[in-house]
Structure 1
Amino acid sequence: MTTSPFDLDLLTQLTETSGVPGYEDRIRELVVREFEDSVDRVRTDAMGNVVGTLEGDSDYSVAVAAHMDEIGFMVRNVRGDDGFGFVELDALGGWDARVLKAQRVTIHTEDGDLPGVIGSPPPHTLDEEEREKTPEVEDVAVDVGLPYEEASERISRGDLVTMDQTTERVGETITGKALDDRVCLFAMLEAARRLEAPDVTIHFCATVQEEVGLRGANALGVDVDPDLAIALDVTIANDVPGFEDGEHVTDLGGGAAIKLKDSSVITNPKVHRRLKAVADAEGIDYQLEIMPAGGTDTAGFQNTAGAKPVGAISIPTRYLHTVTETAHVDDIAAAIDLLEAFLATEDGDHEYTL
């Protein structure tokens, strides 16, 4: 069995901490704390993005981006009458409501966190139409185990809701909630900690609101204005029963994924070729990612920073946008190693113009 080569405690803390789009406060505190000893200066902006800058010897700058937010919910209503209260939700990010049944959640109120459960009626009590109905987030009701009067006093419209799940080592993998994108945020923090005296200035960007339209990266593309941008995110790994080889996108244990495209971006060919060359030179396992759907912060920087070269390193992950997202420890380690090696060898003289 593979031995985890990195700080599993920090990864666990990052994945288990809550932070939905626009309300990344708890994660932001952790990121600022981790940056304190590894970069030259740290700043935040009005949206909540965090930028930790490591000064280089030249004016050439590289932005590295990983997003802090996880998909979650906002309370839109507390319903009930004389009986128990139930909480109705509005989605923050892309949810498949089929995965929500029989899950535990945490409601973040002004007076503290409240536990809740998303119930699932016994199947033998449902008629055929009910069993075949495609669920929607709007149909979900969170049972908080409190009388309506008390629930409506303690829970308010606009309170935030996140899934409740621990992070666990399972064989050679790590599984839990919010690996999207906390595992890549972790990889960025680890690379920042390892790097010393780079030739170019590096802006490590922990972005907000990626799950609702790459909004943090769009803003930072203007504010940071890098010469080169590298994004970090998870990618699809459908290497499980029920999928053909061509549908896998990536495979767990195959190494870090070097992105060629997703639905939001086609990466600069010279950038992804240099990523491959660095991986080959350093003996780092990698695979190529061609993702048919989904966007990442890569596009956010390309769309707003002008005609700048962009690339991306991804971590293959099974069961995306569920509470059992799963990544291989070797792929996580490879992504950290590749990012570190790429940045350590970036001198500003590589020609990325096409």
Structure 2
Amino acid sequence: MPIHNQICGQTQKANCFYILLHPKLYVTTMNFDLLRQLCAIHAPSGEEAPLTDFLLEYIGQAQQNWKVKPTILHGDGWQDNIVLVFGQPRTAIFAHIDSIGFTVRYDNKLVPIGGPDTENGYKLVGKDAHGAIEATMVADEEGEILCIDYPRVVERGTSLTFKPDFRETEDFVQCCYMDNRLGVWTALQVAETLENGIIVFSTWEEHGGGSVAYIAKYIYEQYAVKQALISDITWVTEGVKHGEGVAISIRDRGIPRRSYVNKIIDLAKASGLKYQLEVEGAGGSDGKELQSSPYPFDWCFVGAPEDHVHSPNEKVHKADIAAMVGLYEYMMKHL
């Protein structure tokens, strides 16, 4: 897939102070061409390599215009993860690059990857040795018995993902896999001006994790970094609304150390950017791996909320995206 031939957002790139002074202008000038491309890449958990290759090519071009060129860690020993090290890092951003999806089992039956929404009629895409596949999901009323309507038997082990349909209006962007291609996009925006910090593009998050633990070991032992931000996308709920700002999660299934979360909230207040506090009892992120690692990492999930979670129609408000980018820039300067 070709990389957008302009470095996304360079001509209208704004730090958080610009967002504060001109929020409407910044929202209307955000360039989502890169996000569109990210959402279209087939990279469910375990098959992140196509997105890894795309990101390495993009970073190789884009870093020429970044304030600081990072050290890029990838390849042998890193599996499909990418770690970018800028200057003298104090804080790491974790953004997972995998998505939910499905694995074809026997006789065109499906096994979920992660927790995808299941509904009759969803379009799924992929490819096997016989060619490209575009199939229709068939599900029972409970969404538990899954298969595809397709004129031939698809090779067992083939992965399928939602067919991308990127939509943009004045206020919203919508497509499959905003979770977490939008978190990845945000990290790439922050990379343009980041002087000191680490950005981790991690894998397997949607299906139990597995990569963050050894990455945490490396960055703690090599750089003494022990605080993290999770650049991921959360849910619109009765307490977290579209257009009310980026969500700072006090807890989900995991409970981060409250003194660190309070520090993040204080920075959000100082930034003047719109934010909202989230309290949930379910859901998880790369933070759970950091918390269960043998290293003293503090972490906090900070991300824009989306509607239609884990479906082909994930929907995020542009004002929340602007607040997310601005707050990450601010936090990486002050943490």
Distance in 2 of aligned mates of 1:34 and 1:194:
16
1:213 aligned onto 2:208: yes
Partner of residue 5, structure 2:
none
Question: d(CA) in 1 for partners of 2:204 and 2:281?
Answer: 22
Change beyond 3 A, Cα 1:207–1:223: same
**Which of 12, 15, 23 lines up with 2:36 in the alignment?**
12
Please give the residue correspondences for 1:136-215 in structure 2 after superposition, counting only pairs within 5 Å. Answer: 136=144, 139-144=145-150, 146=151, 151-152=152-153, 155-195=154-194, 197-198=195-196, 202-215=197-210
8 Å contact kept, 2:245–2:323? yes
SS at match of 2:211: helix
Q: Does 1:106 align with 2:114?
A: no
Instruction: Please say if 1:68 is aligned against 2:85.
Output: no
Q: Is the 8 A contact 1:207 1:216 kept in 2?
A: yes
How big is the shift at 1:288? Answer: 0.7
Conserved? CA contact 1:235–1:291, under 8 Å: no
Query: 1:302 matched to which residue of 2?
Result: 291
What is the SS of the residue equivalent to 1:4?
helix
Cα offset, 1:327, TM superposition: 0.6
Query: RMSD value over aligned CA atoms?
Result: 2.0
Counterpart secondary structure, 1:326: strand
User: 1:49: which partner in 2?
Assistant: 81
- Whether the 8 Å contact between 1:5 and 1:333 is mirrored in structure 2 is no
Match of 1:259 in 2: 249
Look at both structures and tell me which one has the larger radius of gyration over its CA atoms.
Answer: 1
> Is the Cα contact below 8 Å between 1:221 and 1:302 reproduced in 2?
no
One-letter amino acid of the counterpart of residue 164, structure 2:
Q
Point out where structure 2 has 5 or more consecutive residues left out of the alignment: 1-23
**Aligned residue type for 1:135:** G
Q: SS of the counterpart of 2:109?
A: strand
Aligned counterparts of 2:178 and 2:299: Cα–Cα separation in 1:
23
| SS of residue paired to 2:73 | strand
Matched ranges for 1:196-345 at <5 A? 197-198=195-196, 202-225=197-220, 226-238=225-237, 248-263=238-253, 265-345=254-334
Matching residue of 1:94? 115
Task: Please state whether the residue corresponding to 2:192 is helix, strand or coil.
Answer: helix
> If the length of structure 1 is used for normalisation, what is the TM-score?
0.79
- Residue in 2 aligned with 1:134? 142
The share of aligned pairs that are identical, in percent, is 22
TM-score (ref. length: structure 2): 0.83
Please report how far the alpha carbon of residue 30 of structure 1 lies from its aligned counterpart in structure 2 after TM superposition.
2.3
Provide Cα deviations, 1:243-302, integer angstroms capped at 9, x if missing partner: xxxxx2411101011111010x22233332232232222221111111221111112112
Question: Is the CA contact 2:247–2:304 (under 8 Å) kept in the aligned structure 1?
Answer: yes
User: 2-side partners of 1:158 and 1:219: how far apart?
Assistant: 27
* Unmatched runs of 5 consecutive residues or more in structure 1: 80-86, 121-129, 239-247, 347-354
Per the alignment, in what secondary structure is the counterpart of residue 19 of structure 1?
coil
* d(CA) in 2 for partners of 1:173, 1:267: 30
What CA distance in whole angstroms lies between the structure 2 residues aligned with 1:249 and 1:306? 33
